[in-house]
Amino acid sequence: MNHLIRLTLALAGVASVSAFAADAPQLSAADVAYHQAEVAKVTDMRSQLSSTKARAKAMGNSTYPGSPQANPFRAYPPSCAADPLPDKASGPYFSKQVPLYVPLIGGATTETVTVTVWRLACSSTGNPTTYNPTGAYNAITLMRIDRPSDNQSMVPTFPLVQASQGSIGFDSAKSLIRPATEPNTVISEQGFNSPLYVSTTYVLENYPYEGSGYFTFSDAFTLRVDPRLNGVSPIDISVPAYEPTQSTYPDAFGPLPIDGYMSGNWYDPDHAGEGIVIEVAEQVNSAGQVVRPFVFDWYTFDANGIPFWIAGDGIVDPSNPLSVSAGTGYRTGGGFAGNFQSTVLNPWGTVTFQFIDCNTIKFTYQSNGGLPAGVPSGSGERTWTRLTNVNGLTCE
């Protein structure tokens, strides 16, 4: 029995099965032995994957710790989601029930849980109505296991989770996939036969190890959930390819929520020399709330072709993070290389931003009336292209 389960039972003062599971059907000693043998088989299958991360071996040993970068083994864009994961399915979903093994003092039983698989749209890249019609649709694939009750007196164990896609079948160690409770991780996972204390959502991911399989979960695949119980067949869930429509995945066709992945340089390829640098920051305000400042510098020109710099800032509204408006200004009175005492900040107008997809920004601008002669002014709308990503924050 798992040591954590033993500890839980001991702290609860549970002395026997009848104290908390009198009505639970007891598995026979042969069934318990069968499950223990299956645990050994899976352990052997897992050992077939090298503990050496493929990327680490390819890059060689380093004196310094790893630097931020997108996990090359990821099955979804890193910009797709962050902790916490949702606890309810949305859009099309696929659901089945499966009994899980529950170790008890002096025996074992089962608990039937509900396994649900669904996808969340990552971006509108590939949307034929926007500016990147040749791109691919991206989604993150989630799996949730719902217990009938999160009663800690009976704790089932996590099933074996595998995937079959292309040439990878369930009889291969390459079929093992990595269910993680947090996105954007490299090696974290909920391991087979570990305690499943509460209903939990997982992101389906790839292992980074040599010898492991690689799955594109936005394509069609079959998910197998196997409790490794005597007389219980594994549950297979056929998940079709992710092909969003306006009705099934409306988020795939709208602007992206504004977060740190929008940071970087943006420009108009047809008018090189003009551009915007954007930073989406994170701060704690005086009320102790985490806020998301949006800061930008627009490098443009006046009517005489002299470089002109318009700067602005705003706060992304967490209840409506799809656009942000920023008040702007320009400074006068400065000099070169700090050769000045102070500058004056002069109001210019307002700029509002939306991100059509990870590589396309749309912004509208409106200058104030009565600006001094020589200060560029006007109103309009522009659609520009991403030039750079921030290290470790690759938006896809």
Q: Is the pLDDT of residue 124 over 80?
A: no
pTM higher than 0.85 for the full model? Answer: no
pLDDT of residue 137: 80
- Torsion, Cα of 236, 241, 247, 252 (10° steps): 120
Contacts 24+ apart (CB under 8 A), 284-289: none
pLDDT of residue 289: 87
Share of the chain above pLDDT 70, in %: 88
Q: What's the pLDDT tens digit per position in 8-52?
A: 433 333 333 333 444 567 999 999 999 999 999 999 999 988 877
pLDDT category at 72 given cuts 50, 70, 90 is confident
Helix (H) or strand (E) holding 58: helix 54-59
- In contact, 198 and 8? CB cutoff 8 Å: no
What are φ and ψ of residue 239, in 5° steps? -110, 115
Return the higher-pLDDT residue of 122 and 234.
Answer: 234
pLDDT of residue 60: 58
Q: Is the pLDDT of residue 181 over 60?
A: yes
Q: Is the pLDDT of residue 2 over 60?
A: no
Rounded to whole angstroms, the Cα distance separating 257 from 382 reads: 19
Q: Which amino acid is at 304?
A: N
Q: Which amino acid is at 146?
A: D
Q: Where are the domains of the chain?
A: 3-252, 260-386
Q: What's the pLDDT tens digit per position in 222-277?
A: 999 999 999 999 999 999 999 998 899 988 888 899 999 999 999 999 998 999 99
Q: Which of 280, 305, 367 is nearest to 330 (CA)?
A: 367
**314: burial class by Cβ within 10 Å (0-12, 13-18, 19+)?**
buried
Rounded to whole angstroms, the Cα distance separating 27 from 5 reads: 18
- In contact, 221 and 239? CB cutoff 8 Å: yes
Q: Is the pLDDT of residue 128 over 50?
A: no
pLDDT of residue 75: 86
- In contact, 290 and 315? CB cutoff 8 Å: no
Residue identified by tokens 């019609």 is: 133
Q: Is the pLDDT of residue 78 over 70?
A: yes
Share of the chain above pLDDT 90, in %: 65
Q: Is the pLDDT of residue 4 over 70?
A: no
Q: What is the DSSP letter of 262?
A: G
Q: What is the DSSP letter of 18?
A: G
**What are the angstrom distances between the C-alpha of 366 and each of 16, 219, 274, 280, 317?**
74, 44, 18, 22, 21
CA angle in degrees (0–180, nearest 5) for 368-371-375 = 110
Handedness of CA 57, 62, 65, 69 (dihedral sign): negative
Mean pLDDT score, 139-164: 94
